[in-house]
Amino acid sequence: MSDMSSDDDREKGRALAKLEEYRAEIDKHDADLMEALGKRIRVVEKIGALKRSNKLDIEDENREKKVRDEWEQLARSNRVSTTLAKDILNKILGHSKEIE
């Protein structure tokens, strides 16, 4: 009985180690996402300054449609829920318009 218990314990230990490895991978991807979002926001700030100084409209429906279509394609090609992608993009675009 103790052999089975120690086999179970070893298996559980390996599973927990793998879980930590996967979590570290997620943490890296989260950091990459935040870095990319920060870069995007800095570009949006430049766009906002350009639009303000040239009295350009904040909203550009054609550009927004293009971005939405691209995000939908990117979501599909990366096996990401299009609903999730749309929700995230809506938040990003809303924040971008506030910045601009």
| Same domain for 91 and 75 | yes
| Same domain for 9 and 39 | yes
Instruction: Give the mean pLDDT of 11-19.
Output: 96
| Same domain for 69 and 91 | yes
**Is the pLDDT confidence value at 83 over 80?**
yes
How far apart CA 51 and CA 57 sit, in angstroms, is 7
**Alpha helical stretches, state H, the chain:** 2-53, 61-77, 82-99
| Same domain for 50 and 7 | yes
- Domain span including residue 83: 58-100
Instruction: Give the mean pLDDT of 75-98.
Output: 97
| Same domain for 42 and 22 | yes
pLDDT band at 3 (very low <50, low <70, confident <90, very high): low
pLDDT band at 4 (very low <50, low <70, confident <90, very high): low
| Same domain for 45 and 74 | no
Instruction: Give the mean pLDDT of 81-96.
Output: 97
Counting the structural domains of the chain, the total is 2
Using a cut of 0.85, tell me whether the model's pTM lies above it.
no
| Same domain for 41 and 13 | yes
